[in-house]
Structure 1
């Protein structure tokens, strides 16, 4: 297994950050070596934005600068996650090939001067990216510092669905041919008899560009799928080179904070280890919970395998309207929260705070003020503390009894336009269902719709708006076999092509839930309600006018709950506490004070190690069982 190479190079929890020595001179490099030893740094990511320095003119490479840093890091015993440098092309590429620049849906072409200024479908961009990747793999594949390959950077952060150029349009048509084979099958899936949209040939189809009114929803949904797949092709083109030349080196890329841009469950099989960038807002009182949910998603991408925290901020970031600092102790708490939820590394962006550029006010492990700063003192203390628990590296996050179902295609379809309410959004719903478990310190795994449900006592489904018949049957079978389900409104409405399931809402789940929804009734204040007819279910909660708002229905050997509206947070907690009690889902440890979080990892020797966190007191304790 390629991942074993990483653990051979990194023998305790990875600690460090993005290292950008090209921004500095030899005197600073010497100080970097000294400060890294002092801080306990054992892992850095190198070269993410170094394409222009490494290939200053087309086909002419200068690796001498990188050779020195790789050798220096190896001598210090610091492992390297070496980037392929392809996240941001050099100016010469766009000068020679302006057709590689992405185009917005209104026809506006984006320009260089920032980052990620490339069309994901561009064969020119891919050709140059592959050529550079091959040179890097050949030169550094056997270097003693190399622990991990890092392809690209934050795919989809800026150009997830932004390219509508002719190259992207042609690629979209190719993708559609592969998916549907015939234009007749596409017309059926896209319901093109509506508004006279029936196509006679694939050449008549464009990306969903700016239009006079609502665009075809199935076309938009497929464009989301295509966009995720097209970025994945860029990643896979580089991975193929790395795997061929360095089959023993694991490969990853870093995902941005959980968003609807990429289908991460589709990407995850192609990563040897999941890597994630986490940037909770210090001004947001709900940030610890949002972060915990994101970490549960990362852990779920590869079935509970440990993952890597590849970026976080030791203090303030630079890209919000108001960039608050992290109060003393917050960085430590954030870092341990990642470890508690399965992270095998704690890395930051970046090692040394930049003097110039767009991110010069983004905090770093070494601030502008140098070693005599609070942040660096906390960095040094955290490094020593993490190093004291080497047995946590590679330990397995303990499997939960509760799971939450997350599906990116359904997320994309749910938030299209021309729906009953624009207030129904997936991430908001997922967090509302996850938070009562989080508040009770109940562990929760996040699963794809084709994940193995049988091991879980409780399954939460926020808004599974779009669902295939096969997936609906799997969910029904889970409950029939004895599972407990909590499903919320506007689920089971359409199939995978955004065509309504006929037979009364929610048709695939009517028998399971024991009810029928006759009408949706979203209110002006943003709340959702429905007119429900009970068909075997009991009303557990009702609105003041007697309309059922929460129902319970025995089904086979299990139980299906349905929420026809979003309960207030305290009511949601009360309801899920009742559901948990009935199905035997308990907190990680008993008798915890309210608000205290505990997550457990199991070491190779079977020892259970509990990380106990109090977000309000900013305290952390590691408890050996």
Structure 2
């Protein structure tokens, strides 16, 4: 397995390179990513290429037995390019041009930028495409990050209008599906259609959704251009990947991934300005997204946090044990390689306070020793672990278009898409039930339970698949605001939850957006919730059962007291649950536990900060056990049988394992 670092030889004196590489070799590093920000070095002026610095660096790197991943440098177009071709610059939603001075200062809709990008990528591919120690390529860097996913320039507007023409064919069709009769927005010429720059109120939601789709398609096309250019000139065994960011960007990572050999991801459990790391389930969700992007295929972590991070603000300092714990969590959930960001903290530039394995003085200390411990611990079983299967009996539906629809109309100031997705993901994580994050194109028969959180923007084909899944014995869990919109981001004319009303056995006649500090109280009225009480936030659907059984009601003193909040309906041989409010964990956890038990899914009772991930090989089962607490030790009940420490093959455990704060361990047992 590959474990490496992100290294920037151009940022350090050449006399330091040898020192760094000796330290990397002692650490056990076997791969290095370079060059993703080196455009101006490789093409100091248009059409003049100079690869000498990277040639020298690669020659020295490979002399130490390490392999190289090259990044195409298109995330940082150089100053000469911007001066000569200012039309490649993006614009913000106010129409203000984003200037040179940071990174990602381009629009993917610029034909000029496509051409210039193709030229530098082609020159790199011709130069390094046959290099025996260049094992792969990363296109660009973090597409769309830092709000660069949406651009609103004249170039973008012309491209958007052309995209709409190709999609709708006629203005009559577009006007009908968008409902442009509202507010006199009917178009009689394609050139009238704007990109959604700032207006006094809000743009048509259908226009906004299509603009996001347009932006996503543009990034897919831009990446495809780079991939096709590379493949024309590189060896077949050199891979091509991209390091994704999953933060609600106007991108379809799954579509982009179709052109890649595998995807990569930048794993930052904590970042500048954060007082503490995000929750373990939130980190796990991101890894599950990575695994789901290519339908279960493993991925690389191309940037794994190794020190306190931040630009102008410095985030939380990872405590002793965090680096190993986050590395183990990534590998357990599907990462096949770990590349630590960064080797050494930069002395200049925006990332001066992105600390690395080495800090500014370049002296190896605690973090260096921790990474060495991680690498040493994976030598014995690392390759076997990443080859083992990830068993999953639950599917969590996630579609970026649904995320975009919620961004357009969040409806409550309490609403945050990721947090609400996590509300319905976290109970399964807490019960150590493994799941895959899925889209509407997957075969549902592999699962016993499908969780469909905040299914606002519905898709007819997927609705039908869900009903068939339930009729054949599966369990479906819906949440509040299900079935509200169709694929054009237009509200259903059917009583909510729209097309899914019969399947859920309910109707929603009224609802309440909980804003500010408002909340509701939900009381369980039937098993498995009978006698339980919990607070809820964000939203209240007031459910009118038509066939469904009521499991919980609202008990506030307001007029809706006693109305249904959570229901269960039997459909064929299966069951459909509707959770009509943002109920908290104290009620969701026992509900999920009962659902999983009835579905025949085994759950594991562990202390809240403990995470267990199972991988199953041909002959060996692996269980990775992680204590995310920085303060408390916990006794963890292990699965039945005798377990061996996979790092040494010697220490054995049976029954109960005591984990110290931030301790993580990979265990193995013969099948």
Report if TM-score (shorter chain) is over 0.5. yes
The aligned counterpart of 2:586 is 570
Identify unmatched segments of 5+ residues in structure 1.
1-11
Residue 522 of structure 1, CA deviation: 1.6
Matched, 1:463 2:454: yes
Q: Does the 8 A contact of 1:370 with 1:376 survive in 2? A: no
Q: Does the 8 A contact of 1:440 with 1:594 survive in 2? A: no
The 3-state SS of whatever aligns with 1:521 is strand
| Distance across 1 between alignment mates of 2:277 and 2:47 | 50
The aligned counterpart of 1:263 is 252
Residue 575 of structure 1, CA deviation: 1.2
| Distance across 2 between alignment mates of 1:257 and 1:414 | 15
Residue 593 of structure 1, CA deviation: 4.8
The aligned counterpart of 1:107 is 95
| Distance across 2 between alignment mates of 1:162 and 1:285 | 28
Matched, 1:410 2:410: no
Residue 159 of structure 1, CA deviation: 4.3
The aligned counterpart of 1:607 is 620
Q: Does the 8 A contact of 2:504 with 2:569 survive in 1? A: yes
| Distance across 2 between alignment mates of 1:528 and 1:320 | 36
Matched, 1:355 2:347: yes
The aligned counterpart of 2:651 is none
The aligned counterpart of 2:171 is 183
| Distance across 2 between alignment mates of 1:238 and 1:550 | 49
Q: Does the 8 A contact of 2:471 with 2:573 survive in 1? A: yes
Q: Does the 8 A contact of 1:160 with 1:262 survive in 2? A: no
Matched, 1:299 2:291: yes
The aligned counterpart of 1:429 is 420
Q: Map residues 73-112 of structure 1 onto 2, 5 A cutoff.
A: 73-112=61-100
From 108, 127, 151, the counterpart of 1:139: 127
| Distance across 2 between alignment mates of 1:531 and 1:70 | 64
The aligned counterpart of 2:505 is 514
The aligned counterpart of 1:476 is 467
The aligned counterpart of 2:543 is 532
| Distance across 1 between alignment mates of 2:51 and 2:313 | 39
Q: Does the 8 A contact of 1:310 with 1:348 survive in 2? A: yes
Q: Deviations over 1:158-213 (max 9, x none)?
A: 34444211111111111111211111111122111111111112111111111122
| Distance across 2 between alignment mates of 1:21 and 1:285 | 30
Matched, 1:272 2:286: no
From 42, 49, 68, the counterpart of 1:54: 42
Residue 325 of structure 1, CA deviation: 0.5
| Distance across 2 between alignment mates of 1:313 and 1:535 | 51
The aligned counterpart of 1:623 is 667
Residue 459 of structure 1, CA deviation: 0.8
The aligned counterpart of 2:111 is 123
| Distance across 2 between alignment mates of 1:591 and 1:162 | 44
| Distance across 2 between alignment mates of 1:482 and 1:425 | 32
Q: Does the 8 A contact of 2:227 with 2:260 survive in 1? A: no
TM-score (norm 2): 0.88
The 3-state SS of whatever aligns with 1:178 is helix
Residue 557 of structure 1, CA deviation: 0.9
Judged with a 3 Å threshold, the aligned counterparts in structure 2 of structure 1 residues 134 and 88 are, in CA distance, closer, same or farther, namely same
| Distance across 1 between alignment mates of 2:353 and 2:73 | 23
Residue 436 of structure 1, CA deviation: 0.7
Q: Does the 8 A contact of 1:119 with 1:163 survive in 2? A: yes
Q: Map residues 316-465 of structure 1 onto 2, 5 A cutoff.
A: 316-319=308-311, 321-392=313-384, 394-417=386-409, 420-465=411-456
Q: Does the 8 A contact of 1:260 with 1:411 survive in 2? A: no
| Distance across 2 between alignment mates of 1:322 and 1:390 | 32
Matched, 1:312 2:309: no
| Distance across 1 between alignment mates of 2:411 and 2:25 | 58
The 3-state SS of whatever aligns with 1:487 is strand
Q: Deviations over 1:329-362 (max 9, x none)?
A: 1111011110010101111221122111111111
The aligned counterpart of 2:152 is 164
Q: Does the 8 A contact of 1:415 with 1:422 survive in 2? A: no
Q: Deviations over 1:298-351 (max 9, x none)?
A: 111111111111112211001474511001111110111100101011112211
The 3-state SS of whatever aligns with 2:408 is coil
Residue 44 of structure 1, CA deviation: 1.3
Q: Does the 8 A contact of 2:622 with 2:666 survive in 1? A: yes
The 3-state SS of whatever aligns with 1:528 is strand
The aligned counterpart of 1:26 is 14
| Distance across 1 between alignment mates of 2:501 and 2:289 | 29
The 3-state SS of whatever aligns with 1:352 is coil
Greater percentage in strand: 2
| Distance across 1 between alignment mates of 2:538 and 2:75 | 41
| Distance across 2 between alignment mates of 1:152 and 1:36 | 25
Residue 508 of structure 1, CA deviation: 0.9
The 3-state SS of whatever aligns with 1:312 is strand
| Distance across 2 between alignment mates of 1:500 and 1:259 | 22
Q: CA RMSD in A?
A: 1.7
The aligned counterpart of 2:640 is none
Judged with a 3 Å threshold, the aligned counterparts in structure 2 of structure 1 residues 261 and 103 are, in CA distance, closer, same or farther, namely same
The 3-state SS of whatever aligns with 2:666 is strand
